[in-house]
Amino acid sequence: MVDGFARTGQPVGSKTLAADPDVTAGPSTIRNELAVLEERGLLAHPHTSAGRVPTDAGYRYYVDQLLPEAPRKEELGLSLVRREVDEAMKVTTETLSQVTNLLALVTAPPIATTTIRHIEVLLLQPQVLMVVVITSTGGVSKKVFTFDRPVDAGLADWAGSYLNERLVGIGLGARMLGSRLSDPSLPVTERAFLMELAPAFTELAETADDTLYVDGAHRLISEYRFQDVSQLNALMEMLERRVSMLGVLSTALSSRGAYVRIGVENDEPALQSLSLVAANYGLPQRNLGTVSVIGPTRMDYSRAIRSVREAAHELSRFVEELY
- Please state the domain count of the chain: 3
Q: Find the CATH number of the domain harbouring 199.
A: 3.30.390.60
CB 55 within 8 A of CB 69: no
- CA 55/CA 257 separation, integer angstroms: 24
User: How confident is the model over 248-290, as pLDDT tens digits?
Assistant: 898 888 887 889 999 999 999 889 989 999 999 988 888 889 9
Range of the domain at 90: 60-110+210-322
Query: Quick one: 164 and 40 in the same domain?
Result: no
CA–CA distance, 67 with 176 (Å, rounded to integer): 44
Q: What count of Cα atoms within 13 Å lies in the side-chain half-sphere of residue 160?
A: 16
For residues 221 and 306, state if they share a domain. yes
Select from 207, 239, 264 the last residue of a domain: 207
The CATH number of residue 45's host domain is: 1.10.10.10
Based on the domain organization, do 223 and 106 belong to the same domain? yes
Identify the three-state secondary structure at position 35.
Answer: helix
Regarding whether 224 and 75 lie in a shared domain, the answer is yes
| Co-location of 265 and 121 in the same domain | no
The residues with which 102 forms a beta bridge, in sequence order, are none
Same domain, 317 and 219: yes
Both 67 and 26 in a single domain? no
Residue range 96-116, pLDDT digits in tens: 999 999 999 999 877 666 788
Helix (H, G, I), strand (E, B) or coil at 56: helix
pLDDT digits (tens), the chain, 323 positions? 788 888 777 888 888 888 888 787 887 888 888 888 888 998 988 776 668 889 999 989 989 888 876 555 556 767 676 567 778 889 999 999 999 999 999 998 776 667 888 999 999 999 999 999 887 766 678 899 999 999 999 999 999 999 999 999 887 766 677 778 888 889 999 999 999 999 888 777 665 556 788 998 877 776 665 556 677 778 888 888 788 888 889 888 888 788 999 999 999 988 998 999 999 998 888 888 999 999 888 899 999 999 999 999 999 998 888 76
Answer yes or no: do 197 and 219 share one domain. Answer: no
Q: Are strands 259-262 and 103-107 parallel, antiparallel or unpaired?
A: unpaired
**What is the pLDDT at residue 87?**
85
